């Protein structure tokens, strides 16, 4: 009997598509390690469990671990023990140093040669290549697969994965990644997933500043914010930051702007990503005037104590600047 799924809403449609994508893995439950259960990783790990996979998890936050344990995951005190029990290991961590240190610790006592390590953090492509060589020298496989789509995408399993590795490795991890995302793109060799992610996030930082500037100016000129947002989103200024993540409170119901800019994608992280963009731009002799300016603006926000706020707080910062 053929399975037929009838969808009556966008949310149900997204869920049904995820179920269809993951059906090939339902009958072949995998042991999957997940290191880093933050705003993104917690949802990603949960979605893997929803598709029948056995999760082995680690995080420095006891609460994050307890949340996954309550759903059936096994919590580990050592990443090396977690890796020994896993067919796949996914890492979702804040920065270059933490990722590198985690892999050094996780593989210090050797690795299972059939295990595939997948890093979904946003880090320097050169760090990716270094870790790949180290993991490969121990007999296992490593790819980079950073994500785009934010916390809503992680929660709804609609993330975009940008994969760097061989074609065979891409095919080996695709079914697992499809349990967390709707688009899995092979970008090329090791580090190319990170190259795509860094460039994407540079564009994200620039566009959020642009939306914040335009909204702030429109409101100061007397326009109703909802009216102007509707105009942007039906005209040439439309973008993800204006439509799905508007920085002005009251415009996008699910945006962090409606929760005092808590949660979401932190100013600390966008600043880190823009710093990565600046570094690789310098190394490749590539001009990024707007990317460099965006980096300086977010560094200013960090210096004002806003690092833990969602990066859309740049609007609130501009709003509170005095008129010239």
pLDDT tens digits, one per residue of 302-321: 999 999 999 999 999 999 98
- pLDDT tens-place string over residues 188-233: 999 999 999 999 999 999 999 999 999 999 999 999 999 999 999 9
Confidence class of residue 3 from pLDDT cuts 50, 70 and 90?
A: very low
pLDDT at 73: 97
Confidence class of residue 84 from pLDDT cuts 50, 70 and 90?
A: very high
Residue ranges and CATH numbers for the domains of the chain are 10-190 (3.40.50.720), 195-319 (1.10.1040.10)
This prediction's pTM: 0.85
Backbone torsion region of residue 133, taken as left when φ is above 0, otherwise alpha when ψ lies between -120 and 50, otherwise beta:
alpha
In this structure, the strands spanning 147-148 and 159-164 are antiparallel
pLDDT at 263: 85
Q: Which residues are catalytic?
A: 197
Residue 152 scores a pLDDT above 60: yes
Contacts of 143 (CB under 8 A, 6+ apart): 116, 117, 118, 119, 132, 163, 164, 165, 169, 170, 173, 190, 193
Q: Are 68 and 57 in contact (CB under 8 A)?
A: yes
- pLDDT tens-place string over residues 5-61: 444 444 445 444 544 455 444 447 899 999 999 989 999 999 999 999 999 999 999
Q: Is 281 exposed, middle or buried (0-12, 13-18, 19+ CB in 10 A)?
A: middle
pLDDT at 22: 55
pLDDT at 18: 47
User: Percent of the chain at pLDDT above 90?
Assistant: 86
Sequence-ordered strand ranges (E) for 28-153: 31-35, 54-58, 74-75, 88-91, 116-119, 141-144, 147-148
Report d(CA 14, CA 2) in Å as an integer. 20
């Amino acid at each position: 009997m053929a399975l037929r799924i009838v969808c009556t809403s966008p949310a149900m449609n997204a869920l049904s598509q995820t179920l269809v994508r993951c059906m090939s893995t339902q009958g072949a439950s995998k042991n999957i390690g997940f290191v880093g259960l933050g705003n993104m990783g917690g949802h990603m790990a949960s979605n893997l469990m929803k598709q029948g996979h056995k999760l082995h998890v680690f995080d420095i936050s006891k609460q994050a671990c307890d949340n996954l344990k309550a759903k059936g995951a096994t919590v580990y005190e050592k990443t090396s023990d977690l890796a020994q029990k896993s067919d796949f290991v996914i890492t979702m961590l804040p920065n270059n140093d933490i990722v590198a240190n985690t892999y050094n610790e996780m593989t210090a006592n050797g690795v299972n040669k059939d295990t595939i390590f997948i890093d979904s953090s946003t880090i320097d492509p050169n760090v990716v290549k270094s870790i790949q060589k180290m993991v490969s020298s121990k007999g296992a496989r490593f790819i980079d697969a950073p994500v785009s789509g934010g916390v809503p995408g992680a929660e709804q399993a609609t993330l975009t994965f940008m994969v760097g590795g061989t074609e065979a490795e891409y095919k080996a991890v695709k079914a697992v990644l499809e349990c967390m995302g709707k688009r899995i793109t092979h970008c090329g060799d090791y580090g190319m997933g990170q190259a795509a992610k860094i460039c994407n996030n540079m564009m994200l930082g620039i566009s959020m500043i642009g939306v914040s500037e335009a909204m702030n100016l429109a409101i100061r000129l007397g326009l109703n914010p909802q009216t102007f947002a509707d105009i942007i989103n039906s005209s040439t200024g439309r973008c993800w930051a204006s439509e799905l993540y508007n920085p002005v409170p009251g415009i996008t119901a699910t945006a962090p702007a409606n929760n005092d800019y808590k949660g979401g994608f932190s100013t600390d992280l966008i600043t880190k990503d823009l710093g990565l963009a600046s570094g690789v731009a310098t190394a490749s002799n590539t001009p990024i005037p707007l990317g460099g300016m965006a980096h300086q603006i977010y560094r200013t926000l960090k210096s004002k104590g806003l690092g833990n706020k969602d990066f859309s707080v740049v609007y609130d910062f501009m709003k509170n600047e005095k008129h010239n």
